[in-house]
Chain A
Amino acid sequence: MTETIASLVSSDGKAIRTATGSSLASAIAALNIEPDPTLWVWLNYSNSTPDPGALEALLDCASRSSELTGIIGPKLVSTADPRMITQLGLTLTPFGDAFSPVSETFDQGQHDRGGDVLAVGTAGMLVRTTVLAKLGGFDPRAPELAADLDFSIRARMAGNRVVVEPKARVAYDGKAAELGGSMKVELRKASIHLRMVYSPIWSVLLYWLVLIPLGFLRATYRIAQKRPDRIWAEIYSAFWGFFTVPKRLSSRKLLPPNSNVTLAALKPLRANWQQVRAAARASADRDEAQQNLAAFARGNSDEVPAKGFSAALGWVFVLLLATASWHLFPTNIAVTGGNALPLSAQLGDLFARAGASWQPIADGYFAPSDPFNWVLLLLAALTFWSPPLAIGLLLFMARPIAFIGAWRVAALFTKKAWLRNITATGFALWPSLTAALGDARVADVVSSITLPWLVLGIARAAGLGRVGSARSNRQTWSWVALSGLLLAVVGASAPNLLVLVLVGLAVVASMRIRRLGYLFWIPLPLGAIFAPYAYYLIAKLGEPAAVIADPSLAKGVSHLSNLELLVGGSIFTATYLIAGLAALFTKRWGLSLALWCFGLLLVVAAWFTQQLSFPSADGADRTVAGSPLSLLSAAALVFVVLVVIAFDSVDKRWLIRTVCTGLTLLGLLPLLFASATSAPKFASSDGRVVPWLLVSQEDSDAKLLVISADGENYTTKWLSIRGQHLEDASTAYRFELSKLSKTTPYREVAKLAGAMVSANGVDIANELASTKVRYVLVPNNKSATVLEIGSSLDSVPQLESAGVTEFGRLWRVKDQPTLTLTRHSVWSITKGIQVAILGAFVLLAIPSRTRRNAGSEAQIFVDGEDADV
């Protein structure tokens, strides 16, 4: 507990008496002052150390200035380093926040001219006793950090001067030392207090009304500023200000009556924006310098910088990979076939399907939708003018994105440009990714190409790797937020990969335990989008293992043999595996062994995933095996890193040539050929999933029955009239269907379909009314049964043919009342929380400061890879 020490001193420097107290008010009261213009009160704290000549200098200043000078402050310096100025007067920003114009600055005599300031801090403050008496002392209702400002401003308003005397030095670290964590809250409280006390009464009322929303808004801004530590301060202080408004208003009574000095009149003494910005920049630079020093201390800096992406000809490989993906170029807005359906053309629809709210599946379904729908929403938001286009572009750009990501991951381990290029290209051409692309397995593609970026993000946030450290706390927060979002993306796209990724994250956290404060936040967005879904599957459906089911449509992949699992599906990657073995003979063999174990663990997980069968979402097959592709891509990344480690220390020219030629001829070129020649199993389409006739009637609760047959087994899809888009696939529904299909509505649909395909003239009016079926579509697969169903439906009296469409033959149900669209809320509490967390992380992830270190600026370390970060 710091004590306040108040001394009554005379103008000639004699200390008359000294009193201590736990607060300013109590210390001053204990001093028992008689107001006298020649007597002064000198305030100090038990943890402030005035220089021997400090008081003399202050009194000297007092003697040189007029009677009006009421308060004189010293130059506050750091206790640890007296050359560092911590405070030299205080003022307010244009927004009314407390602001110290000089802080954390080397004292080079540049601030040695004292003069008028708006306010001074209480430490070392010399106050004329008459002023103290006139103002009624310090305001006990003011928050701790507002008391000095408030007192000084009142002195100003009473017509007194407030000055600083730089010759008087007091070593004091500020209130931060004693306030600790609550410092941020106190700062904000001080601002609110000052605003409420010094603004005109009408604006105080307005301010009070908007205080709480403003608190949330400021909290959001703090996130965008990469200051998540300030969120609590903003929100707590807003509530504090709102509920303690009577105290603030009573503080206004202390204002000097009949004063003609307003806060506006003191504007010249307040800080302008330029000063505020300069201070913020200086603070960021200090932070960066500290990070650099820390990195240097860890030995992470290079004397010779590695080549950047452009200098290493990375773009050539990007172009090469884009060319190899020519098959995948979107020729129309949507992707249909393979494992994809078009996305809805409205971004709003995609938002409605994300999270946990009502879903238009069958006759309406309420359960958390796939977390993957958030990924789809994110993708679609990137091409907001035409959401379905996102999938086509993603498939086309997947290889270049995977390349750049893997390139950066390789850069964590090596400076060699050729090694980065050759390994990253290998990763981008890995057969598991090619298989996922060819089948338009959006989820597998997303997880495969996101994984390197996630690894990079975590490495940066944890300060791992060759160039792994972020350059400032702000950047670290950006990387943390980015890693959080990427982890959510990977987890939502490949739940079967999630466990091992979390294990990896835990290993990283244990290696960088000091970074735990940052790393701790990374799984938050994943938890936000995954927890409700997992809870539903585990608690409501009683299927704990269902959480690792592939999301979305999850059609089957061809079963891979043990050898294919090891090499990711094509034997040519064996070159990389063999090269990766060489890593075990390098200096970093321990790391290599760990990586090998992790890589093989991923392959084992891929094998295990293949053995699992889940309920299928589509077609006549009732079960579908898990997809190992994401796990294989993850293993590919590990193997590629091993190749990097293996050849990082190779310096002999002939050996480099041999390795380059070997990897290119035996690995890269065959893989490139395979990628460029594998035809995709999907097609580009205009994004419709139902005939135009139905598209024009989307605003209705009407249902569409899609009847298809495989031999004697019929499959009936009970869909909303807008058809099934990619975001309508629901894993929870997939697992719950076996229960749902025993319920009456489903039995009625089955009965309806049975009556229709047999065209037996049974009355189906009741079933039509209750199931809301208004259209029947029979997809044309040219099989005999389909034609048979067609002729049956032709003879159902309640149906009339609506023509042959590209989706099959369509029938309309006659003489049924029109159904209007029931609007369902797209929100739920869960979804609100999810949106808040994701929004906060997105704000946090967007880099806020783009200012680059100019070349002329003095830098301790030159990081040659600035341009890539």
Chain B
Amino acid sequence: MYKRFLAAALVLGAIVALFVNPLGLSLQIGDSAKPISVTAQAKDLTLVCPGALYRAGGSSGTSLQVTRAGSATLSGFFASNPSIRLVERRVVADAPLVAGLVNGPLVDAKSITVQDPSGSAVQGSALLAVTQVQKAALSNLSGLAAANCVRPSSDNWLVGGDTSPGRETLLILSNPTDVDSSVNLEIIGSGGTVSAPGLSSISVPKSKTTVIPISGVAPNLSTFAIHIVSSGGALGTWLQVRTMRGLLPGGVELVGPSAEPAKSLVIPGIFLRGLADAAKLSADNPAYADLTPTLRISSTATTQTTVTAQIVGTNAKTYGTVIQQVIAPNSTMDIPITGLADGDYVALIDSSEPVRAAIRFNRTKAKKTDLAWAPAVSPLKNKVVFNAPAGAISKLAIANPGKVGATVRVGSQTVTVPAASSVSVVAPAGRSATISSTVPVAATEVIDVGGLVAVIPVLDYKNLGGQLSILVR
């Protein structure tokens, strides 16, 4: 019998030994194929700017045309060198190609291209970065609107806008290429995809800008995100969002293409001012209810998505709040952010599925309001350049969504951004500055002109190319 016990003890011992075995070998058998490195010259970098704001209905408000109102101011940066050349062309039929300018007034949409026949320049916003700002003070269009000039793309998402009464959203589609483009729109509302006639096969001829009032296809919709898919020429796309409260203009903003959907997003640049005034206004008049900062989340996931947003202040006084919501599959949701005091905030969003997000907030001073849409910004991996327009107070909100602190160099200043927090830096007006960081950080520029506000994300643009690693199977 003792033999059997011995056998059992042996087996048990072997099992325990297998269980606690701490060994870990890592044996590589055979060489795995290495990607082939290919130097491919990238396509010339082109940015397209939306041009001056549109005014639907003309000055009387009854015209059927949308016309440009006033002019925007372009401020930009171009890292000039002898082997490259900057050219520009207005996005109107038969406009000539002329030497490019990155500063100055702008009415029509225009494209700016860095011609680089040798492919020597490194593409990115450190090569070319242009932003436009426009202050409007008309009877039915007032406020500060700013936008980046963007790289044309055939697939864009715009998160923002509202078509309920008194709110106007225009979709600006600018085709700077020599190829006609045909556009299909997908509007994801609070109840899912909006089905309406006129969403498909929208023509955007070459060198032309097409403006589509979203109220025409999705009237009375307060919450949505728009997916623009174009075939043919790539497009620059923006939303022009305008608020009217009765006869009083309540602000204007340009919303640029959204960042890639992700499970973790960061929205810097939520600079809240005049919340007390806003509270008073909205208590008196329900039309001011949308002065409350609102987080818009758009999900294209096929399952329910749980979203947690931490709104984190930049100092001890503004300690922020936390919001948690479940978003239905394939829908867009607005979540009001209440209980915040005036201050600078950053939103750190975690989600169970990849989502897109933006935050709408208002600047209120007595009865004057101006709205802004702060989009989610992808953390920057490379050195980038941003422009602070002349005649405005520009502040850079730098958020570090990572787990380690970042040392960020903005122009000549150096700031430290601890993990999961945000820092605001004042940028000298009328100058361009370089941002570089030890770890990827997200940055947004908040522009203030006379109590009006506009927000533009700091982005990096490049066409595919350079040193590509390609694995051939």
Q: Using a CB–CB distance below 8 Å, which chain A residues touch chain B?
A: 362, 541, 543, 545-546, 549, 562-563, 565-566, 577, 581, 584-585, 589, 592-593, 596-597, 600, 603-604, 607-608, 611-618, 620, 622-623, 712-718, 734-735, 737-741, 746-747, 749-751, 753-755, 757-762, 783-785, 787-792, 794-795, 801
Q: B residues within 8 A CB of A545?
A: 27, 29-30
Other-chain residue from A614, A617, A758, A790 in contact with B29 (beta carbon distance below 8 A) = A614
Find out whether the CB atom of B7 lies under 8 angstroms from the CB atom of A758. no
Find out whether the CB atom of B40 lies under 8 angstroms from the CB atom of A757. yes
Chain B min CB distance to A705 (Å): 9
Chain B min CB distance to A494 (Å): 16
Chain A min CB distance to B319 (Å): 34
Other-chain residue from B35, B155, B179 in contact with A790 (beta carbon distance below 8 A) = B155
Find out whether the CB atom of B119 lies under 8 angstroms from the CB atom of A760. yes
- State in angstroms the CA–CA spacing of A818 and B260 once bound together: 41
Find out whether the CB atom of B40 lies under 8 angstroms from the CB atom of A589. no
- 7 residue pairs of the A-B complex, CB under 8 angstroms, read A362-B473, A543-B30, A614-B30, A713-B471, A737-B33, A737-B473, A751-B38
Binds A, one of B13-21, B187-195, B357-365: B13-21
Q: B residues within 8 A CB of A562?
A: 18-21
Other-chain residue from A546, A718, A760, A791 in contact with B473 (beta carbon distance below 8 A) = A718
| B153: Cβ under 8 A from any A Cβ | yes
Other-chain residue from B31, B34, B473 in contact with A715 (beta carbon distance below 8 A) = B473
Q: B residues within 8 A CB of A593?
A: 7, 10-11
| B316: Cβ under 8 A from any A Cβ | no
In the complex, the chain B residue whose C-beta lies closest to that of A783 is B260
Q: A615-B32, A714-B468 are in contact. Are A584 and B8 (CB under 8 A)?
A: yes
In the complex, the chain B residue whose C-beta lies closest to that of A738 is B31
19 other contacts beyond A592-B7, A792-B464, with CB at 8 A cut-off? A362-B473, A545-B30, A563-B19, A566-B18, A584-B8, A589-B3, A596-B11, A597-B14, A607-B21, A620-B471, A713-B35, A714-B468, A738-B32, A747-B36, A750-B36, A758-B43, A787-B153, A788-B153, A790-B155
Find out whether the CB atom of B472 lies under 8 angstroms from the CB atom of A746. yes
- State in angstroms the CA–CA spacing of A750 and B40 once bound together: 10
- State in angstroms the CA–CA spacing of A807 and B343 once bound together: 49
Q: A746-B472, A754-B40, A755-B40 are in contact. Are A791 and B154 (CB under 8 A)?
A: yes
- State in angstroms the CA–CA spacing of A72 and B242 once bound together: 125
- State in angstroms the CA–CA spacing of A563 and B42 once bound together: 51
Find out whether the CB atom of A622 lies under 8 angstroms from the CB atom of B43. no
Q: A residues within 8 A CB of B36?
A: 741, 746-747, 750
- State in angstroms the CA–CA spacing of A102 and B273 once bound together: 117
| B28: Cβ under 8 A from any A Cβ | yes
Q: Which of B331-386 contact A (CB under 8 A)?
A: none
Q: A residues within 8 A CB of B39?
A: 754
Q: B residues within 8 A CB of A585?
A: 4, 8
Q: Which of B438-473 contact A (CB under 8 A)?
A: 463-466, 468-473
- State in angstroms the CA–CA spacing of A541 and B39 once bound together: 30
| B234: Cβ under 8 A from any A Cβ | yes
Q: Which of B132-158 contact A (CB under 8 A)?
A: 153-155
| B26: Cβ under 8 A from any A Cβ | yes
Find out whether the CB atom of B231 lies under 8 angstroms from the CB atom of A794. yes
- State in angstroms the CA–CA spacing of A193 and B15 once bound together: 68
- State in angstroms the CA–CA spacing of A616 and B29 once bound together: 11
| B64: Cβ under 8 A from any A Cβ | no
- State in angstroms the CA–CA spacing of A371 and B352 once bound together: 43
Find out whether the CB atom of A795 lies under 8 angstroms from the CB atom of B7. no
In the complex, the chain A residue whose C-beta lies closest to that of B29 is A545
Chain B min CB distance to A527 (Å): 23
Q: A residues within 8 A CB of B33?
A: 615, 622, 737-738, 740-741
Cβ-closest 9 pairs across A and B: A754-B38, A754-B40, A758-B465, A615-B32, A738-B31, A750-B36, A737-B33, A787-B155, A791-B154
- State in angstroms the CA–CA spacing of A785 and B470 once bound together: 14
Q: B residues within 8 A CB of A566?
A: 15, 18-19
- State in angstroms the CA–CA spacing of A734 and B463 once bound together: 32
Q: Which of A562, A603, A608, A717 is most buried by chain B, counting CB atoms within 10 A of its CB?
A: A562
Find out whether the CB atom of B154 lies under 8 angstroms from the CB atom of A718. no
Find out whether the CB atom of B8 lies under 8 angstroms from the CB atom of A760. no
Chain B min CB distance to A754 (Å): 4
- State in angstroms the CA–CA spacing of A546 and B38 once bound together: 30
- State in angstroms the CA–CA spacing of A618 and B32 once bound together: 11
Find out whether the CB atom of A735 lies under 8 angstroms from the CB atom of B464. no
Find out whether the CB atom of B473 lies under 8 angstroms from the CB atom of A758. no
| B25: Cβ under 8 A from any A Cβ | yes
Chain A min CB distance to B261 (Å): 9
Find out whether the CB atom of A750 lies under 8 angstroms from the CB atom of B472. yes
| B286: Cβ under 8 A from any A Cβ | no
Find out whether the CB atom of B26 lies under 8 angstroms from the CB atom of A613. yes
Q: B residues within 8 A CB of A611?
A: 24-27
In the complex, the chain B residue whose C-beta lies closest to that of A803 is B231
| B318: Cβ under 8 A from any A Cβ | no
- State in angstroms the CA–CA spacing of A608 and B29 once bound together: 13
Find out whether the CB atom of B28 lies under 8 angstroms from the CB atom of A613. yes
Chain A min CB distance to B240 (Å): 24
Chain B min CB distance to A519 (Å): 28
- State in angstroms the CA–CA spacing of A620 and B231 once bound together: 28
Chain A min CB distance to B183 (Å): 13
Q: B residues within 8 A CB of A565?
A: 18
Find out whether the CB atom of B43 lies under 8 angstroms from the CB atom of A754. no
Q: Which of A543, A600, A758, A787 is most buried by chain B, counting CB atoms within 10 A of its CB?
A: A758
| B97: Cβ under 8 A from any A Cβ | no
Chain B min CB distance to A72 (Å): 71
Find out whether the CB atom of B21 lies under 8 angstroms from the CB atom of A790. no
- State in angstroms the CA–CA spacing of A584 and B25 once bound together: 32
- State in angstroms the CA–CA spacing of A734 and B471 once bound together: 13
Find out whether the CB atom of A615 lies under 8 angstroms from the CB atom of B31. yes
Find out whether the CB atom of B7 lies under 8 angstroms from the CB atom of A589. yes
Q: A residues within 8 A CB of B231?
A: 794, 801
Other-chain residue from A581, A600, A613, A620 in contact with B18 (beta carbon distance below 8 A) = A600
In the complex, the chain B residue whose C-beta lies closest to that of A608 is B25
Find out whether the CB atom of B4 lies under 8 angstroms from the CB atom of A589. yes
| B213: Cβ under 8 A from any A Cβ | no
Find out whether the CB atom of A546 lies under 8 angstroms from the CB atom of B468. no
Other-chain residue from B27, B42, B43, B154 in contact with A612 (beta carbon distance below 8 A) = B27
Find out whether the CB atom of B28 lies under 8 angstroms from the CB atom of A623. yes
Find out whether the CB atom of B30 lies under 8 angstroms from the CB atom of A615. yes
Q: A741-B472, A794-B154 are in contact. Are A613 and B40 (CB under 8 A)?
A: no
Chain B min CB distance to A129 (Å): 79
Q: Which of B36-89 contact A (CB under 8 A)?
A: 36, 38-43
- State in angstroms the CA–CA spacing of A747 and B43 once bound together: 21
Other-chain residue from A716, A751, A783, A790 in contact with B471 (beta carbon distance below 8 A) = A716
- State in angstroms the CA–CA spacing of A362 and B472 once bound together: 9
Chain A min CB distance to B364 (Å): 36
In the complex, the chain B residue whose C-beta lies closest to that of A749 is B472
Chain A min CB distance to B280 (Å): 43
In the complex, the chain A residue whose C-beta lies closest to that of B41 is A760
- State in angstroms the CA–CA spacing of A370 and B473 once bound together: 17
Q: Which of A714, A783, A801 is most buried by chain B, counting CB atoms within 10 A of its CB?
A: A714
- State in angstroms the CA–CA spacing of A746 and B469 once bound together: 13
Chain B min CB distance to A578 (Å): 10
